[in-house]
Structure 1
Amino acid sequence: MLDTIKETFPPVFVINRSKDTHRRSDMTDRLGEVGISPIFIEAVDGYALDILNLPDYDREKRRRYFAKDLGHGEIGCSLSHRKIYEKMIDENIASAVVFEDDVFVKNNLKEVLEDIKNTKLSWDLIRFVGHGKVFDIGYRPLVKLRNQYSIARVPTSPSGAYAYILTKKAAKTLVSYMQKNWVPVDIIHSRAWETKLDTFLVHPSPVTPDLISPSTIGDDRFNKRSKITGGTKLLHPFYRFWYKLSNGVGKRLLYMTTRRRDLEIAKKLSPK
């Protein structure tokens, strides 16, 4: 079974710090149960980085828009994902599945990946996120998959980069946006109106995050307390307003302007 998966599917990468042996063991077991043999990618340990002098981090821009720094864990997470994108480019990998090491997978994940591989839908990035309220506000199904799954577009920009599949084209685009990081990687994934990547979600998600085990990213990202002073603090409300406005307008315009095309795709690709 595993040999068939290797031949049929794109590589399945799991981001993991070598010292997190229990997470590596858990992911090996969870993916093995559904017939997938993962390739572990050594994560970038953000806590070992000097983020104040990190050339990959645009600290001033981050502080202008968010009034605080990215956390060590957030930067390490972004650089770990970028490491996979660079690997795809360097090794000419056409597409790949990416998991973080704290997720659970459904028993029919293999069938979902098979259906994505065989779909005639043009896509660059398909995200396995959206637990909770993402689908409570509606979604637009484009392609029906087996077991009540579908590839869909949603009128929002859900967070989370714990599971997805992407093409080499997407990898190149994401790397170009991640030379000077100022938002976490999942925010870049969600801003499809900016990246111009054909970005979709699978509904319902065949992968869910482990919300019980402590995250290696850390909880400081949830601290909303401002950590800026001077001119940066003075200008922050204007930058923040623009960020929220552009984000809101961008995702709604994308959803509206793709409606006709999506309906044509759904009609064309629906079972006869």
Structure 2
Amino acid sequence: MATDATIPAFVINLDRDVARWQDISSALTRLGIPFERLPAIDARKRAMLIRRVIRREFHFAPANRPMKAGEIGCYLSHIAALKRIVRRNLPMAIIFEDDAAFDERFAQFYRRDLPRFLMKSDIVKFEGIHYAHTSKSGVSLVKGETAQLVVPLKPALGSAAYAVTRKGAVELIRALSVADRPLDHKLVYYDRHGIDFAETQPFLVSQAAYESSIELRNLDAPPLQPTERLRQGLASIARGTKRITYVARLLVKRRLLGAKSPSVA
């Protein structure tokens, strides 16, 4: 099913990352996707201002560590992009980080599959990083020409490319009001934020081989104590149960209500 939908894109880009901006702007121009640069918040330079204006701790609770300056800047930059979508009353939009690299099928995905997928889910993520604990498949919602739309029980991390409806942007802003973990963790934990969430299988965007703008995490952290390992194990079981329940409820809702249109209210 072809569509005439033109979905605008916002690209998060640090002022100093000129080469990244040149690469992604050239790629989006070739793809025929309307886009706009959104200056990223450089938390390393503006840490004191951020903490003076936003009076809360940026603490990654599950890892028991402060969030890195790069993680804080990334988090706040995505909120700024979401707010721009809401202020402009856009029915749907894409958010890219500037290290996004495109699969050769992306143009077809953008024009033919993504508008349909956004009628099924308020968040559609089409980039991700898989780890041993993430799922490479999920419950299928719809099959497109270039990919399937699935709800994974253990979503992939990464936030370099995803699309939202206006309704999804509004609800994500609310969900992101407490910064207690990196943005990609908040984005994919649908069992916590309760927003309709799905991924494409396969992903049509990957992260290009640039040096990370986010500081590397501490790989020499001390091993977890037995009580903490037990606590995390129980929490994982609880999350899994909630996600299974969520997916079952989503499938029932889709069967009863049919396809929904992107919200503009």
Cα pair distance change 1:257/1:45, threshold 3 Å: same
How does 1:8-47 map onto structure 2 within 5 Å? 8-47=5-44
CA distance in 2, matches of 1:256, 1:217: 36
How far is 1:130 from its partner?
Answer: 3.6
Deviations 1:134-157 (A, max 9, x none): 454x3222211113x111111212
CA distance in 1, matches of 2:156, 2:115: 23
- Determine the structure 2 residue equivalent to 1:110: 107
- Determine the structure 2 residue equivalent to 1:177: 175
How does 1:49-198 map onto structure 2 within 5 Å? 49-50=46-47, 53=51, 56=54, 58-59=56-57, 62=59, 64-114=61-111, 115-118=113-116, 121-132=119-130, 134-136=134-136, 138-147=137-146, 149-198=147-196
Q: Which amino acid aligns with 1:44?
A: I
**What's the TM-score once normalised by structure 2's chain length?**
0.80
Q: Which amino acid aligns with 1:247?
A: R
- Determine the structure 2 residue equivalent to 1:230: none
Is 2:60–2:181's contact at 8 Å kept on the other side of the alignment? no
How far is 1:171 from its partner?
Answer: 1.1
Higher helix share: 1
Deviations 1:187-243 (A, max 9, x none): 111111222211111111110112x321101213x54626xxxxxx9x977875665
CA distance in 1, matches of 2:159, 2:69: 17
CA distance in 2, matches of 1:243, 1:36: 41
Following superposition, which runs of at least 4 residues in structure 1 exceed 6 angstroms of deviation? 235-239
Helix, strand or coil at the partner of 1:44: coil
**What's the TM-score once normalised by structure 1's chain length?**
0.79
Q: Which amino acid aligns with 1:249?
A: T
CA distance in 2, matches of 1:161, 1:94: 20
Q: Which amino acid aligns with 2:177?
A: Q
CA distance in 1, matches of 2:232, 2:118: 40
Q: Which amino acid aligns with 2:157?
A: S
Is 1:45–1:76's contact at 8 Å kept on the other side of the alignment? yes
Within the alignment, does 1:213 sit opposite 2:210 as a pair?
Answer: yes
Cα pair distance change 1:152/1:63, threshold 3 Å: closer
How far is 1:249 from its partner?
Answer: 3.3
Cα pair distance change 1:69/1:223, threshold 3 Å: farther
Cα pair distance change 1:22/1:66, threshold 3 Å: same
Is 1:58–1:182's contact at 8 Å kept on the other side of the alignment? no
The range that moved more, 62-71 or 50-59, is: 50-59
How far is 1:50 from its partner?
Answer: 2.8
CA distance in 1, matches of 2:53, 2:228: 23
Gap regions ≥5 residues in structure 2: 260-265
Q: Which amino acid aligns with 1:248?
A: G
CA distance in 2, matches of 1:252, 1:188: 18
How far is 1:83 from its partner?
Answer: 0.2
Is 2:21–2:98's contact at 8 Å kept on the other side of the alignment? yes
The range that moved more, 178-187 or 242-251, is: 242-251
Report sequence identity in percent.
20
Gap regions ≥5 residues in structure 1: 227-232
Cα pair distance change 1:20/1:201, threshold 3 Å: same
- Determine the structure 1 residue equivalent to 2:246: 254
How far is 1:49 from its partner?
Answer: 3.2
How many residues align structurally?
249
Cα pair distance change 1:190/1:68, threshold 3 Å: same
Is 2:123–2:163's contact at 8 Å kept on the other side of the alignment? yes
CA distance in 2, matches of 1:195, 1:167: 15
Is 1:125–1:197's contact at 8 Å kept on the other side of the alignment? yes
* RMSD between superposed Cα atoms in Å: 3.1
Helix, strand or coil at the partner of 1:49: helix
CA distance in 2, matches of 1:146, 1:70: 39
CA distance in 2, matches of 1:238, 1:181: 25
How far is 1:170 from its partner?
Answer: 1.2
